Structure 1
Amino acid sequence: MRWIREHLVLFLGLLVLVYMFVPIFVVVLMSFNDPASRNVYRFDGFTLDNWTNFCGPNGLCDSLVTSVLIAALATLIATVLGTLAAFALVRYDFAGRSASNLLIFLPMAAPEIVLGSSLLALFVAAGFAGQLGFWTILIAHVMFCLSFVVVTVRARLAGMDDTLEQAAMDLYATPAQTFWRVTFPLVLPGIVGAALLSFSLSFDDFIITNLNAGTETTFPMYVWGVAQRGVPMQVNVVGTLMFLLSVAVVVAGEVNNRRRRATLT
């Protein structure tokens, strides 16, 4: 009993991790599945056809390219605007700063159905009712990704020691040199984290996208549509690739951090 009490927290932590990763293991397993019927979601046999015939299902690759393109553009725009807004909120004092800090959280706190329907009403009122598609999806994604970027970068800025910048200025560095050689490298991990979060949120979004997509089809909308007739196993291949890409980014970041620590020591 004493051994159990001492290792109970570790055991519960491992149990929670296993519980969280079980769906991912199922997705990876199903990417190699050769189903007897698309109407029954179970493992019937091993095959590599799902990987070699990746674009077999009609419309899968087109919707995937659309989602990746929208997510990349939304991430780029939201990261640039959000980083500038975070610097303004942390480093400068202006009228309405407190209200701005409060308003930043509203898109994060509001349900997606509320945000999506509000954006749809805005597009309709602006005369874009018949032009819903790629650009309206992009605008909508930038809108909700912006809050996550501001919050993430602002947290990084708030926790940064400003004495390093003061030391650079004491050594006769210009404001531009101080920013690019001291401030920006210190804030860069927060910016990269915000960009990765924005890309994931944009690529994965369904509710807001569905309300503002018109005839455009993104990958989550494609999955929702084919689920009514039977999900093709290639969808699991996409999920597996996204998971492997996420793991690769995390591992690369950790390796880079360890190399930097080794260099400093």
Structure 2
Amino acid sequence: MPDFTVNVPLGPEALESADTVFVPAAQEDYEPQERGRISADVARALARVRPGARMASICTGSFVLAAAGLLTGRRATTHWKSCEEFRALYPEIEVDAGVLYTDDAGVLTSAGVASGIDLCLHMIRTDHGAEVANKVARGTVVPPHREGGQAQYIERPVTPPEQCSTGPAREYALEHLGRPLRLDELADRASMSVRTFNRRFQQEAGLTPMQWLTQQRVDRARQLLERTDLPVDRIATDAGFGTGTALRQHFHAALGVSPRAYRRTFRGAASGSSASSGPVGL
């Protein structure tokens, strides 16, 4: 796709009154030989930013913040393809390659370009609350909270569905999420030994069978929290967690919020709607 130019009416003097400053990703500016430094023009522009202004970067824009010294001693991220290079150039920065964005005391960074949307929703949520962020997310057809980090997007071989040897076991598991499922039971559905099944499953799904099963149960609980008024203990049973305590532990580990808080966000935003829009895309 050809590059394009964005023309803006204001010069760097606008930075002097900005409350939030974004540094975008730009291929021509952030080639590897350029990443350890910034141009004199960029340095002069950043020097105009008033103290206390919020600084944020999209994708490899984090290299600019790092070269300007704005990330020293802080936690940050960038696109997963560039994380090792980022670590090598800036060992004084704590690089987290597994998240979609970071927020360290007013200096924020995001992973890939699309993660900039996650970062912006986080900023809206911080400034105006979850209800406003949720409304913006639904209006732009994106999830208010995207599950997981960017580790799930790292390239790995994908097995075509017709060649997925563990597919029958997964289909069986999804049909029986509400009851205990043993590893040997799933392996038997795939006509494999437990050892072979475990190895094949990780190759095809990128997760262990039990990690995948927990993920599916969390997703089932999310659907029930969004679509029904069932009590948390009943949802825990239907999703296969057994107890409300177990559901809360797994739910918080996966999403960072409690089932009750999640329901407040999604059911609250949906109340008053003339028709159900179904679950948010994950």
The two structures share one fold, judged by TM-score above 0.5: no
TM-score normalised per structure 2: 0.28
Relative contact order (C-alpha < 8 Å, sep 6+): which is higher?
A: 1
Question: Is the strand fraction higher in 1 or 2?
Answer: 2
TM-score normalised per structure 1: 0.29
Question: Is the helix fraction higher in 1 or 2?
Answer: 1
